[in-house]
Amino acid sequence: MAVAAVALVIGSASAWYFLLRDVAISVNGEQVVARVNAPLAEVLEEHDYFGAVPGRLLSVGGNVLEERGGEPCAVSRQGEQLAPEQVEGARIQEGDVFTVADGTDTEEASTEETQEIAPGIHRETGGAIQFVSQWGKAGSKRVKTGEVSGETAEEVLEEPQDMVVSSVNPRPSSGKYVALTFDDGPSSYTPQILEILKEKGVRATFFNLGSQAQSNPSGSRAIVEAGQELASHTMAHRNLPTVDRDTLRSEISTAADALSEASGTHPQMIRAPYGAFGDTEWARSGDLLSCNVLWNVDTCDWERPGADAIRAAAVNSAFNGAIILMHDGGGNREQTVAALPGIIDDLRAKGYEFVTVSELMSMDDRIPEDVANGTVSMPEEAVLPSV
């Protein structure tokens, strides 16, 4: 019994020493008495955080939600800064030296998700041949949504890579070359034009409408069989900037299918009606074509100014690398047919040779081979801009 009593006394004394006795600690240079092994957080609260001003609670967007809703104070122990979770777990030891300063601002709790950033588009202008020289790649961002405020904040993790559309006027390095082009066919005038080209030994490029190819498949087929180049003028000659995304893509893809069915050739090269093919059109359908071909010389034959005027417009404005615009459909093209032999003779007399648009592109090393060949394929990792 006596031994047990002694043990109890010793145990009580030990508990008092380790758990109940008061010890002196230093807080901001002042001596403070606290119970040994007491939670530091309780001591701070009991002393009203020793006059420290609490931080603010901020939204994810940096707005103040509560003036005193942040960390109540900042604490250093023996000169070592304690994180908030360390303060919660710390207990008082004899001889502790604390510095208690104003609390820090705290951001509200939030949820996070990673989102894709679509690429933008940069399009050059001024050239007759337009093509994608750099495909777009998606970036990413972290989006935080505040649980209190409902605000969102974004952090870019990876910048997107913009799509770049180059615009080039072909510049053959040697010789003098021009490309004759004909829009809106095939029509009843197409066989006459093909015959003149055959007689003169000239190659040209025909931008056929898909709707015309469907109603006159033999006309498109005759172009290919004659050794001429067949390209697309879209399905129904719509003003592409005025249509929605699905219609735009259909105008290009259904025309290619119609031309393929009629001729066995599936062209990637297009000429947008009215030459209208801007940032939005490239962003929505750049994966469907190799290039959009405009022109440098407009004969205005669609105005029917007379065969001589058409001839003069083509000949007088020609230069090395020029793409000359004429029409073999879309109306009465008798004047174009009448002007064509003289255009060919006059340009030959000036030293020009006649090539297709693809051949003209292949003479300029700024234009990629797959663009000139019509074998462009958008890389798997690439994405189109979102518009």
Whether 370 is catalytic = no
Domain membership of residue 58 (yes or no) is yes
Domain membership of residue 134 (yes or no) is no
pLDDT in tens, 174-211: 899 999 999 999 999 999 999 999 999 999 999 999 99
68-76 mean pLDDT: 96
Q: What is the pLDDT of residue 19?
A: 55
For residue 270, which phi and psi values (nearest 5 degrees)?
Answer: -125, 160
Look up residue 56 and give its amino acid.
Answer: R
Given the residues 233, 237, 327, 328, the one annotated as active site: 327
Given the residues 183, 184, 301, 328, the one annotated as active site: 183
Written as six digits, the tokens of 99 are: 């510095």
Q: Are residues 260 and 358 in the same domain?
A: yes
Domain membership of residue 141 (yes or no) is no
Q: Are residues 203 and 310 in the same domain?
A: yes
Could you give the CA distance from residue 163 to residue 243 in angstroms, rounded to a whole number? 22
Confidence of residue 343 (pLDDT cuts 50, 70, 90): very high
67-74 mean pLDDT: 96
Q: Are residues 173 and 103 in the same domain?
A: no
Residue among 325, 295, 322, 296 at smallest CA distance from 310: 325
Domain membership of residue 173 (yes or no) is yes
Could you give the CA distance from residue 36 to residue 49 in angstroms, rounded to a whole number? 18
Q: Are residues 100 and 182 in the same domain?
A: no
CATH at 260? 3.20.20.370
Q: Which domain holds residue 212?
A: 167-373
CATH at 88? 3.10.20.30
- Report whether 366 contacts 168 (CB < 8 A): yes
**Domain count of the fold of the chain:** 2
pLDDT in tens, 216-246: 999 999 999 999 999 999 999 999 999 999 9
Could you give the CA distance from residue 318 to residue 343 in angstroms, rounded to a whole number? 10
Written as six digits, the tokens of 332 are: 């009465």
Confidence of residue 15 (pLDDT cuts 50, 70, 90): very low
Whether 298 is catalytic = no
Is 298's pLDDT higher than 60? yes
Confidence of residue 12 (pLDDT cuts 50, 70, 90): very low
Q: What is the pTM of this model?
A: 0.81
